[in-house]
Structure 1
Amino acid sequence: MNATFDFSGRSIFVTGASSGIGRATVEMLCASGADVVAAARNANELARLAEETGCEPLKLDVSDEAAIDEAFLSLGAFDGLVNCAGIALLERAVETTAASFDRVMAVNARGAALVAKHVARGMIDAKRAGSIVNVSSQAALVALDDHLSYSASKAALDAITRALCIELGPFGIRVNSVNPTVTLTPMAVQAWSDPVKREPALKAIPLGRFAEAVEVASVVAFLLSDAASMVSGVSLAVDGGFVAR
């Protein structure tokens, strides 16, 4: 499955770019003509991605505010942003610790907000209309066992999406979330390899399967594109119907 978009002449900043949905998004955007700055913590994977796609790699930890501030001192204005950096620390609610909760929030919610702040400032200063897409999760929309911190962070990200939507809309900047189900990154394939765990999850998805990273990337690209020119403030489930139950 490959969606076709034309992003020629557009510059897009992507976090969480070294693997999974972020990597698939960079691959799709570069193939569609975009100039992409691909940010992540894994310098080796970024170098490989840059060689394969022609993106500009940037080593960045979005949980580090000072590092974000420093990075944007030398970056120009962008036409789009994909906030894909994220972590999941799954634990029972009664075993949640402050350290794990804060770590997940720092990346999934605070980091996305701070990166969006800089990208939005650049768009406004350059008088560029643009699009911001936050990669959230179905865990923001429904309750899942062992997901308290992760669900809270993704629900916060959806709230950030709505807040940015109303503040940035007057500048022609659209802001949306995508909320995927389990997506078959290499890590997820391993995590869901146990049939006892996998089969009940698949039965809860009307389409009967998990998502592929490229399927989520296609929706991200749609929201970045002019085809979604009147779409803003949406949390769009990419989940095969899971949240419809």
Structure 2
Amino acid sequence: MTDLSTLFRLDGKRALVTGAGRGIGLLAARALAAYGAHVTLAARSETDIAAAADAIIKDGGRAEALMLDVTDTSAVRAVIAEAPAFDILVNNAGTNRPGPFVDVEPEAFDLVNTLNVKAAFFVAQAVTRRLIVAGRPGSIINMSSQMGHVGAKDRTIYCTTKFAIEGMTKSMAVELAPHGIRVNSIGPTFIETPMTAPYFENEDFKASVLSKIKLGRVGQVEDLAGALILLASDASGLMTGSSLLVDGGWTAE
């Protein structure tokens, strides 16, 4: 009989978190380590991830920093191919360039799509290849957004990328299920992070956001911990191709 008390534990698992230096990525690394995973924190800023890894280690967890530009596909493939297989991937690195649809320039479109879609695609591919060679199951968690389920003013580029992530998640789930590799996404509402902080300085914008979040508050990074641990662990062993919305009720109507 399954020991239910261990379902959420990640002991013996290796996890890779991209965009791990701050915000949601940092929270993901901390949460996975707290449940027993050995976490590799990847980002372009060595200072941020080194400090984060040190803090996790001081708290009794296992972590290491990996300076990596996930938009460099060749580097991603080389690094992941040489590393022991990662049992868990939190595909979190991303960005946004909000603005009116009619004003979008190709440079902004390419920048956001390169990081949010192309990099996510090829990081997941590299991790998956390594798992298949090792003959190991795994859990890939694509950090999506509520904006992968609804539209929004001034968010056409971002919505485009997050709808793409949702489609990628489902297609990967179908293809990788025979290998025991599960693929799911998390769709947060607006979360207070260094990236979103400037937006909330606009009181009209903040009021508009709060009017759509039925629970009446902007999300905190800790609000995502439960969904992350669920999808990373054996507690979600029959879940693949799903999207967990952590949106305070935004998409409920």
Judge same fold: TM > 0.5, yes or no. Answer: yes
* Structure 1 residue 242 corresponds to structure 2 residue 245: no
- In structure 2, give the amino acid aligned to 1:48: A
If the length of structure 1 is used for normalisation, what is the TM-score? Answer: 0.95
Q: CA-atom RMSD, angstroms? A: 1.3
Q: Is the 8 A contact 2:8 2:234 kept in 1?
A: no
Which among 8, 11, 22 is matched to residue 8 of structure 1? 11
C-alpha distance in 1, partners of 2:45/2:183? Answer: 27
Deviations 1:152-192 (A, max 9, x none): 01111111101110110011111001010000113423421
C-alpha distance in 2, partners of 1:52/1:27? Answer: 9
Deviations 1:67-101 (A, max 9, x none): 21222232111111110000111121001111111
Which among 142, 152, 167 is matched to residue 134 of structure 1? 142
* Structure 1 residue 26 corresponds to structure 2 residue 29: yes
Q: Which residue of the partner structure matches residue 221 of structure 2?
A: 213
How far off its partner does 1:195 sit?
Answer: 2.2
Q: Is the 8 A contact 2:199 2:205 kept in 1?
A: no
- In structure 2, give the amino acid aligned to 1:23: L
Q: Is the 8 A contact 1:7 1:29 kept in 2?
A: yes
How far off its partner does 1:126 sit?
Answer: 1.2
Q: Which residue of the partner structure matches residue 157 of structure 1?
A: 165
Which among 222, 225, 237 is matched to residue 230 of structure 2? 222
Unaligned 5+ segments in structure 1 are none
Unaligned 5+ segments in structure 2 are 1-6, 58-62
C-alpha distance in 2, partners of 1:216/1:27? Answer: 12
Q: Which residue of the partner structure matches residue 126 of structure 2?
A: 118
Aligned residue runs from structure 1 range 33-112, under 5 A: 33-54=36-57, 55-112=63-120
* Structure 1 residue 184 corresponds to structure 2 residue 192: yes
Which stretch has the larger CA shift, 191-200 or 156-165? 191-200
Aligned length: 242
How far off its partner does 1:203 sit?
Answer: 1.4
How far off its partner does 1:5 sit?
Answer: 3.4
If the length of structure 2 is used for normalisation, what is the TM-score? Answer: 0.92
Identity %: 38
Q: Which residue of the partner structure matches residue 198 of structure 1?
A: 206
- In structure 1, give the amino acid aligned to 2:104: T
